[in-house]
Amino acid sequence: MGDLVAAVDAAAHAAMAYRGQGLRGLGFGCSARAEALAERCGARTPTLGQASGRLPLTDREREIVMLIGAGLSNRDVAARLTISVRTVERHIYNAMAKTGTGGREDLAALLPRRQPVRESFSAGRPRYVDG
């Protein structure tokens, strides 16, 4: 457990250092890593509190990032949300610009992973839960 707490603190320190240098993407990535480790071991450190922060995404951008993190393609996201593929691409572009990330994978890594729940229901689409 002590090693995990040290890892939480190290990732939080790295997040603050990257943000201080204007490297938002790396800062958000380290912050997400610190949060994931903290959740795993149940630890909260003062540095984690300083490094943590809500991502600067709109609700729709967050929703799309969660769906691409679950493995959906732009076309699948568009069909699920009943919007155009071009609109999905624009939301992804905007989210990447706000977070300083360079790709879909980097962007999706900033939010908790979600696993599809294998249930059938009226819409015929999988429901997602935090995993």
What is the pLDDT tens value at each position of the chain, 131 positions in all? 568 788 887 888 787 788 778 777 777 778 777 877 877 877 777 777 777 767 788 999 989 999 998 999 999 999 999 999 999 999 999 999 998 888 898 888 888 664 443 433 444 555 544 44
With beta carbons less than 8 A apart as the criterion, state whether 108 and 61 touch. no
Which amino acid, residue 98?
K
CA distance 6 to 51: 15
Instruction: Kindly state whether residues 65 and 128 are assigned to the same domain.
Output: yes
Instruction: Kindly state whether residues 20 and 37 are assigned to the same domain.
Output: yes
Instruction: Kindly state whether residues 43 and 59 are assigned to the same domain.
Output: no
- In the chain, the number of structural domains is 2
CATH code for the domain of 98: 1.10.10.10
**Phi then psi dihedrals of residue 52, to 5 deg:** -75, 150
In this prediction the pTM is 0.63
